[in-house]
A and B are shown apart, each in its own frame.
Chain A
Amino acid sequence: MTTTAHNIICLRCGGEMNHHCDKLVYPTDFQDMKLTDPALGGIIEEFHACPKCGTVASRPA
């Protein structure tokens, strides 16, 4: 697994999580509208999974 300085640490077991997906999500309130990428029409959300325990996490890219 490639590791980067930006990988998330698993809150459950302390393992380094794997960033396996980016997904376009759409804003559902005016606060989120500010985060919208004008070229993509939404917000890129990163999804991560822990190789040790399977915990998942997400954050805005």
Chain B
Amino acid sequence: METTRPLFIPVILGTVRAGRMSQHAAQLVNLELGNRAGVQTELIDIAQTPLPTNDAGEAIKDPSFSSKMERSDAIVIVSPEYNHGYCGLLKHALDTCLKEYIHKAVGIVGVSAGPFGGSRGIENLLPVMRELGLVTIFWDVNFSSVLKVFSADGSLLDDSYIRRIDKFLKELIWMAKTLRQGREQIPLD
């Protein structure tokens, strides 16, 4: 196996809503991920991913999004909770790929204005991840009462999130390395 190839772990900002606080969370996780040795990352904003809404699934695959998912070894999904669920356009974007995800790790970051940190949206996403062939890690990051976590300009107001993100990313990177080894070296039969 080529050992020098860096891991690629993009961060998907899973909402298109104007004024989204999840953007600050996604930028923070992206920054922390980019500081890790041997990891390349990129922030993917689904609001900037051109997908039609008069069809769905792999028929509307976006070449850029697909290419980044194929190149990835793991992904981070930043998912705000809207009405106890995840953003519908996040699902619309995720459904455009399949082979790109198989046996790759995924970590989910929940965001909410209320006290539960997007946990209900995360729970709703877990069976979707499984069907897409992604392997979920058991660490999440939950941004609760997000208006108190970031200032209006996106500055982090609560440093405890750095440690939570650190634990989350360590697990995600370990899983990404392990699954790359499995995908590329261990045959099914």
Contact yes or no, B99 A57, CB < 8 A: yes
Interface size on A, residues (CB 8 A): 22
**Majority secondary structure of chain B interface residues (helix, strand, loop or mixed):** loop
Given contact pairs A2-B189, A49-B183, enumerate 8 new A-B contacts (beta carbons under 8 Å): A2-B187, A19-B187, A20-B184, A25-B98, A49-B103, A52-B2, A54-B71, A58-B102
Contact at A21–B57, with CB atoms within 8 Å? no
Q: How many A-B residue pairs have CB under 8 A?
A: 63
Residues of B within 8 A of A (CB): 1-2, 5, 57, 70-71, 73, 98-100, 102-103, 133, 180, 182-189
Tell me which residues across on chain A come within 8 A of B102, comparing CB atoms: 20-21, 23, 47, 56, 58
Which of A21, A52, A55 lies in contact with B133, CB distance below 8 A? Answer: A21
Q: Across the interface, which residues of A come within 8 angstroms of B73, CB to CB? A: 54
A26-51: which residues lie under 8 A (CB-CB) from chain B? 28, 45, 47, 49-51
- A55–B182 alpha-carbon span in the complex (Å): 14
Neighbouring A residues of B71 by C-beta, 8 Å: 54
Complexed CA–CA distance, A7 and B189 (Å): 12
On whether the beta carbons of A51 and B188 are closer than 8 Å, the reply is no
CA distance A28 to B98 in the complex (A): 14
Chain A residues with Cβ below 8 Å from B187 are 1-2, 18-20
Q: Which residues of B contact A19 (CB under 8 A)?
A: 187-189
Chain B residues, CB < 8 A from A28:
57
Output the least CB separation between B54 and chain A (Å): 16
In whole angstroms, what is the CA distance A52 to B185 when docked? 10
Name the contact of B180 in the complex, choosing from A25, A52, A54, A57 (C-beta under 8 A).
A54
Q: Are B186 and A18 in contact (CB under 8 A)?
A: yes
Q: Is the CB of A20 within 8 A of B2?
A: no
Q: Can you sample 21 A-B contacts with CB below 8 Å?
A: A1-B185, A1-B186, A2-B187, A2-B189, A18-B184, A19-B188, A20-B186, A21-B103, A21-B133, A21-B188, A47-B99, A47-B133, A51-B1, A52-B2, A54-B70, A54-B71, A54-B180, A54-B184, A56-B99, A56-B100, A56-B183
